Chains A and B, each alone.
Chain A
Amino acid sequence: MKIVGITACPTGIAHTYMAQEALEKKAKEMGHECHIETQGSIGVENELTKKQIKEADVVILAVEVVIEGMDRFEDKLVFKESIAKCISHPGEVILDALSKVQK
């Protein structure tokens, strides 16, 4: 499966990046393709491409502040989760998100 997502925590200093790493790492282990954009203290990094968004089966949003570019996901299946859970239990988050995808 193909997953994209955005992480953004209230201060954007540390957990935005931890959540990105946790999701990307776990998804890879599980055999999925995953690209996570971060919107934190250093601005937008690893910005999702139109192609990545178009091809994605699901969008994981772990955002606890207002983010830029929500309109990019208008026609997509969006799954929301807390930053804390993405860091502590990334595998569960990925399974939950993928369970929403119509087989």
Chain B
Amino acid sequence: MVIEDNLIKVDLKAESKEEIIHELATLAHNNGRVLDLQEYIRAVMAREEEFSTALGYLVAMPHGQSDAVTSPFVVFARTSHEVIWDENPVRLIFMIGVPMKNRDKTHMKIIAGLSKKLLDDEFRAKLLTATKEEAYDMLANIDLGGMEI
């Protein structure tokens, strides 16, 4: 599965972008989604340097494409207070991992569908107060609407 309950953390205490990326990458690694932790972190940081993934809405979507990733995944974390990520405040972090090869199209559509859903104000408001179980239900049941699967 792209989204798993053990890849969700609703009480993240980290204080900086680097700390958040490190902590969430470690969570993915401990759950077998990332083989080489340092390689994956390098890929995520390289992407951030090219293009900050925090673009408002209190959301950041850091992502790393790397062969250190076993299969596409999304880690969701919510910080207890706002953290400044480059120039923007964030509280909802969706860290994406995608292998360079062997991508499953359905998995990529789930990630695309989630990205669109994050523009929905009500959806984000709910995520800001959801319990871990509620967050899992919301993220695992994203309606892919018009997207052809």
Contacts and interface: CB of A to CB of B under 8 A. Distances in A.
| Central interface residue in B55, B96, B98, B114, by most chain A CB within 10 Å | B55
Interface string A1-34: 0000000011101111110111001000000000
B148 A10 contact: no
A69 to B, nearest CB: 19
| Central interface residue in B52, B65, B98, B112, by most chain A CB within 10 Å | B112
Contacts of A42: 105, 108-109, 112
Contacts, number: 70
Q: Is the interface of B mostly helix, strand, loop or mixed?
A: mixed
Interface of A: 9-11, 13-18, 20-22, 25, 38, 40-42, 45-46, 64, 83-84, 87-88
B71 interface: no
Contact of B115 (A17, A25, A88): A17
Classify chain B: how many residues form its interface, as a range. 20 to 34
Contact of B63 (A11, A22, A46): A11
30 contacts: A10-B50, A11-B63, A11-B98, A13-B63, A13-B96, A13-B98, A13-B108, A13-B112, A14-B53, A14-B63, A14-B115, A15-B53, A15-B55, A15-B61, A16-B115, A17-B112, A17-B116, A18-B55, A21-B116, A40-B112, A41-B98, A41-B108, A42-B108, A42-B112, A45-B147, A46-B146, A83-B51, A84-B51, A84-B52, A87-B56
A25 to B, nearest CB: 6
A41 B103 contact: yes
Interface of B: 47, 50-53, 55-56, 61, 63, 65, 94, 96, 98, 103, 105, 108-109, 111-116, 118-119, 146-148
